[in-house]
Chain A
């Protein structure tokens, strides 16, 4: 699965969880500062990513996922 595919899947999840338009979910965006994804929504995003991409993202890693690119790269590396 390419980075582009992961980004598209992640954008759909962020849209479904937080109502943020999928096209605004871009690699350089910060979940908290740019996309207004709060901590509860972030938990939901992580859970949905685990289901969708078949990865495990431990809580200790979630705090390092500041930008969309962080999440995409983590998923690509751990699939």
Chain B
């Protein structure tokens, strides 16, 4: 049993805006959500650049919701509420409703805050909500409770590929008949001195303090690392049958996914992109697409020296001459790297590019690295042609995880 899956709801809260519309407009305009961290707790760090969400969750949620949820859960709930309202599903059997929401690191901030309380005030003052707040499945659980999902609530974890893997997982729940509707995507909310110090220790982060807004510049020859961001992006997927029966607005069609692993290094990308190529080829096959159908690629490209060129090489190798009609963008120039939220944000950008026939530029990128032999969109948005188009959305994670999603226009 394999059923067609469509996208009917979108939600996001990102460094560019508190919803999908403002985020998408920010991407098209090439805005940057990246800033210097002014809080004194970051003062001694070698990196003080990050991309916090534009709208703080405390301005949206009730105080008791903030108190009971880790920041990653707060952001996921905000994005999920928007996506769920957008899908406007009047009625669905709870046993046919699922959730698949991922995070890269889970409730790291809650864990560290409660450890501080344990050290300073003792065990009797550790919050009884600590475990629900730190568990990586917490965001999925919170959203599952919100919508009343009983088909299953899941959390794939693959570092920065997690958000994409969750969408693929959710789509498989529908394809295989376990669910009719799935709320899926990713979230991250872990901007903290320790996480920044840890990524900085890997020499993975940009140190462009003199021009923080332009610190993230995927594919640019002067890129010097990624920028930590926070936020969440959530989609509602449905079986085409269920969506059409209720007359739903349909953004696009989920085509399929390709999963692979590098088998190379715990953090370094494989320089020839063999795992990436395997994942792209598998996504094409799963979506029953050929390279000539691909008119857009939303790259993972995080603005690190090694990763961006390896990915560009892999895209060119798989698509061949068809890469010439597939303009490439990467959202991380504008948003920084949402880690567990990155894959689902890229998916939303891919879906909207197909719907609006418009590919956002890579913010901050001026001079392409000479090793990049694909058509990277720079400066202003690029129009896509009319007709049936497909797009690929790439997501990779520390550990060597390669996840590629394919979407089709409607």
Contacts and interface: CB of A to CB of B under 8 A. Distances in A.
Interface stretch (B72-80, B120-128, B180-188): B120-128
A44 B63 contact: no
Contacts of A15: 64
Interface in B12-70: 62-65, 67
A77 B375 CA distance: 76
A40 B132 CA distance: 10
A32 interface: no
A57 B65 CA distance: 25
Contacts of B65: 19
A44 B125 contact: no
Query: What DSSP secondary structure best describes chain A's contact surface?
Result: helix
B65 to A, nearest CB: 7
A28 interface: no
Nearest to B127: A44
Contacts of A44: 127-129
B64 A17 contact: yes
Nearest to B132: A40
Chain A: interface size category: under 10
Nearest to B125: A47
Contact of A16 (B64, B124, B125): B64
A47 B114 CA distance: 14
A17 B64 CA distance: 5
Contact of A40 (B62, B63, B129): B129
Contacts of B125: 47
Chain B: interface size category: 10 to 19
A31 to B, nearest CB: 15
Contacts of A19: 62-65
A17 B65 CA distance: 9
Contacts of A18: 64
A20 B57 CA distance: 20
Nearest to A56: B124
Interface in A1-56: 15-19, 40, 43-44, 47
A16 B64 CA distance: 6
Contacts, number: 21
A30 to B, nearest CB: 19
A19 B67 CA distance: 10
Nearest to A38: B128
A44 B124 CA distance: 10
B129 A16 contact: no
A43 B67 contact: no
A17 B128 contact: no
A27 to B, nearest CB: 22
Contacts of B62: 19
Contacts of B132: 40
B107 to A, nearest CB: 15
A44 to B, nearest CB: 6
A18 B125 CA distance: 18
A55 to B, nearest CB: 13
B128 A43 contact: yes
B124 A47 contact: yes
Contacts of A17: 64, 67
Interface in B84-104: none
B277 to A, nearest CB: 48
A44 B63 CA distance: 14
Contacts of B63: 16, 19
A60 to B, nearest CB: 14
Contacts of A47: 124-125, 127
A47 B62 CA distance: 21
* Most A Cβ at <10 Å: residue of B124, B125, B127, B128: B128
Contacts of B124: 47
A34 B132 CA distance: 24
B141 to A, nearest CB: 14
A18 B129 CA distance: 12
Nearest first, the 6 A-B pairs at minimum CB distance are A19-B64, A43-B128, A40-B128, A19-B62, A18-B64, A44-B128
Given A16-B64, A44-B128, A47-B127, 14 more contacts: A16-B63, A17-B64, A17-B67, A18-B64, A19-B62, A19-B63, A19-B64, A19-B65, A40-B129, A40-B132, A43-B128, A44-B127, A44-B129, A47-B125
12 contacts: A15-B64, A16-B63, A17-B67, A19-B63, A19-B65, A40-B129, A40-B132, A43-B128, A44-B129, A47-B124, A47-B125, A47-B127
